[in-house]
Amino acid sequence: MDTPSDLRYTSDHEWVRIEGDVATIGITDYAQDALGDVVFVQLPSAGSTVKATASISEVESTKSVSDIYAPLSGEVIEVNEALEADPSVLNSDAYGKGWIFKVRISDPSEISTLLSASDYEDLLGKS
């Protein structure tokens, strides 16, 4: 499983790429592998306000339906509409084209609650 060191992670298997005050969020390689073939992604609404740890969307696979949680509080400024046409991108490119949504961060102090790549690997029992 791939765990890029430039990203932050949650214990719920979301990844976060922080660029200034914007966080791009998706599910980890571990999560997409555990889910199996992704067949549907419920995207959050652009313009909506999210609170850290709140359920914001769902990913449906051939095995199950899983909630996606907001790792940080803020406003959803963009969603990956390409996932509506091809949700399998989450399986093929989890850390690239498979991002789910972007949030303008309202509370930067929450970033410190996210896991580093090594902490996430520890959580998975990989180290």
**pLDDT digit string, tens, across residues 67-112:** 999 999 999 999 999 999 999 999 999 999 999 999 999 999 999 9
Please write the tens of the pLDDT for every residue from 7-51.
999 999 999 999 999 999 999 999 999 999 999 999 999 999 999
| Residue 117: strand, helix, or coil | helix
Q: Does residue 127 surpass a pLDDT of 70?
A: no
C-alpha–C-alpha distance, residues 25 and 86, integer Å: 17
CB-side neighbour CA atoms (13 Å) of 44: 27
Tokens read off for 59: 């990913």
**CATH number for the domain whose boundaries are 8-108:** 2.40.50.100
